[in-house]
């Protein structure tokens, strides 16, 4: 999943983004409301993590703007303004969750994960794909009952394909959701990750290539 992180403190921004990337998310980092608006104009994010007070204003204003649009991504607001009235103000403005600073990194990762699960009701329970089980709430994958240890990027690619089982997912969409703006624009990381997934799930899942367009995930018929 691709996230937008708005945090004006470089030290905190690095800590937050590092923890979220360790969870398998692609994270774009900005430090102002103006930069956040530009990023959102270019990318369809899966989740927004906003520090409240930044140099050019209060992100409550930005959340209120977004709330007018149907289908906007969930918003986690972080703020040193953590008293009850300020929290209510942020939630009324449209934030889906509000955490007072300082926030523990493991709590940040957990709250983002819960927002992502809440966003799509199909994530409520594990998905059985033949011999493979994908539990998106726990971010766990098993093959014939044994846990499969995927890298965060491998899991992110698999999750995107699982959401569109038997339908093509464009290469551009996979790159947008599974890699952030730090990736080498001249490299093709997707091909290598698909190759590894094919080896891991050989005989259970197929990752069919649609030449020049994308990939289709299919379940292998055990018969």
Determine the angle formed by the axes of helices 33-42 and 59-67, rounding to 10 degrees.
30
* Dihedral over Cα of 94, 98, 102, 103: its sign: negative
8 A C-beta contact, residue 79 and residue 52 = yes
Whether the model pTM is above 0.95: no
> What does the block give as tokens for 191?
């091909």
What are the pLDDT tens digits along the chain (223 aa)? Answer: 889 999 999 999 999 999 999 888 889 999 999 999 999 988 889 899 999 999 999 999 888 888 666 568 899 999 887 667 778 888 888 888 999 888 999 999 999 988 887 665 445 578 899 999 998 777 889 999 999 999 888 998 998 899 888 899 998 888 878 887 766 555 568 899 999 999 999 999 999 999 889 999 999 987 6
Tokens describing residue 120: 């799509």
Residues whose CB is less than 8 angstroms from the CB of residue 119 and which lie 6 or more positions away in sequence, other chains included:
46, 47, 73, 74
Q: Could you give all domains of the chain from N- to C-terminal order, each with its CATH number?
A: 2-119 (3.40.50.2300), 122-219 (1.10.10.10)
Asked if residues 29 and 7 have their Cβ atoms less than 8 Å apart, the reply is yes
């Amino acid at each position: 999943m691709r996230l937008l992180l708005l945090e004006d403190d470089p030290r905190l921004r690095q800590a937050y983004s590092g923890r979220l990337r360790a969870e398998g998310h692609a994270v774009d980092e900005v430090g102002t409301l103006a930069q956040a608006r530009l990023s959102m104009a270019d990318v369809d994010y899966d989740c927004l993590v906003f520090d409240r007070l930044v140099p050019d204003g209060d992100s409550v204003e930005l959340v209120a703007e977004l709330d007018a649009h149907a289908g906007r991504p969930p918003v986690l607001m972080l703020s040193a303004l953590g008293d009850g009235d300020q929290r209510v103000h942020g939630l009324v403005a449209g934030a889906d969750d509000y955490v007072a600073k300082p926030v523990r990194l493991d709590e940040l990762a957990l709250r983002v994960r819960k927002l992502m699960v809440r966003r799509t009701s199909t994530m409520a329970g594990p998905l059985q794909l033949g011999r493979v089980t994908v539990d998106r709430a726990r971010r766990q994958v098993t093959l014939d009952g044994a846990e499969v240890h995927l890298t965060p990027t491998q899991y992110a690619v698999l999750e995107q394909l699982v959401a569109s089982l038997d339908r093509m997912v464009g290469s551009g969409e996979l790159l947008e959701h599974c890699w952030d703006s730090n990736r080498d624009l001249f490299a093709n990381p997707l091909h290598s990750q698909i190759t590894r997934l094919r080896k891991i799930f050989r005989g259970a899942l197929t990752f069919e290539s649609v030449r020049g367009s994308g990939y289709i995930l299919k379940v292998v018929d055990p018969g």
